[in-house]
Amino acid sequence: MNAKSHSHSHATAGGRPDFPLIDYHVHLGPDLSLEQAVKLSEQKKVKFGIVENVGPQSLVKNDEELLKYINRLRQYPVYVGLQPTVLNWSQHYSKEVLDQLDYVLMDADTVPLPDGSYLRIWQNDLFIDDMDEFMEIYMHHITQILAHEPIDIFGRPTYLPINFAREYDRLWTNERLSVIIDLARERHIALEIQENVRIPSDRFIAMAKKAGVKFTFGTNARNHNAGHFHYCLEMAAKHGLTRDDMFIID
């Protein structure tokens, strides 16, 4: 991955913040072609980072396919990202090719279980009986990502399955939040402020900013919602985020 700048701060003025608006979490698909994404980015005056999922079902399984993906996107004014979904994903690619990416974003939404199966916690029909048992498994997965995976951005931090998202404040204790923040700080991993699910919480952002961790904005959009920031800008204004608090690519 390319060298990153963690930039130089000036106070946020009214309106747009003093840092460039970048949506690092945009997916292409049937409702958003690459050409449409570029046009939308220009209209919204928000730079887009395009991410391709890589994992067991990925179309980008090796260096050759990854290079094709990178070279295609390099023809357009977008950042070139990757979003792995499982641990140990990088063993399928050479460092030489991975270094050609602008960044790697990974979330913890695909949780491995001891029997070799996965919990895909974004699925609306998922039901988990024991919230506290799940949190132990989930935290282990998160720590594995943050401690070992070669990533630049941790996406959707503190996301919870929909059937117990109402327990957010109870389950996300300060101790658990501190584990995420401390690991991110140690490995210089930025934390995503996620627009479409309105996470992480106000409390988490305050703790992470105090710890000196960098932030990104992301929509996880596959349509015209890419680059649409409301929660992200609300949190940036509330916490006085400036250019110095943001992960910005050179």
Average pLDDT value for residue range 20-36: 98
**Distance separating alpha carbons of residues 44 and 204, to the nearest angstrom:** 28
Q: CATH no. for residue 181?
A: 3.20.20.140
Condensed to tens digits (0 to 9), the pLDDT of residues 210-225 reads: 999 999 999 999 999 9
Q: What was the pLDDT predicted at 122?
A: 93
- Count of domains observed in the chain: 1
Tell me the pLDDT tens digit for each residue of 108-144.
999 999 898 999 999 988 888 899 999 999 999 999 9
On the question of pLDDT at 10 being above 60, the answer is no
- Residue 3 CB neighbours (<10 A): 7
Q: How many residues does the chain have?
A: 250
Model pTM? 0.93
Q: Which of residues 29 and 7 earns the better pLDDT score?
A: 29
Q: Nearest CA to 153 among 81, 201, 99? A: 81
What per-residue confidence (pLDDT) applies to 177? 99
What pLDDT does 11 receive? 38
> Using one digit for the tens of pLDDT, what is the confidence trace for 51-78?
999 988 888 999 999 999 999 999 999 9
pLDDT band at 1 (very low <50, low <70, confident <90, very high): low
Q: What are phi and psi for residue 67, nearest 5 degrees?
A: -65, -40
Distance CA 75, CA 83 (A): 20
DSSP of 115-163: TS-EEETT-TT---S-HHHHHHHHHHHHHHHHHHS--SEE-STT---GG
Q: Give the pLDDT score at 125.
A: 84
Alpha carbon distance 196, 226 (integer Å): 10
pLDDT at 13 over 90: no
Query: Domain range holding 26?
Result: 4-249
Q: What is the pLDDT of residue 59?
A: 86
Mean pLDDT throughout 223-234? 98
Across all residues in the chain, what is the average pLDDT?
A: 93
How high is the pLDDT of residue 163? 87
pLDDT digits (tens, 9 = 90+) for 152-205: 999 999 999 998 899 999 999 999 999 999 999 999 999 999 999 999 999 999
**For residue 7, is pLDDT > 80?**
no
Phi, psi of 59 (to 5 degrees): -85, -10
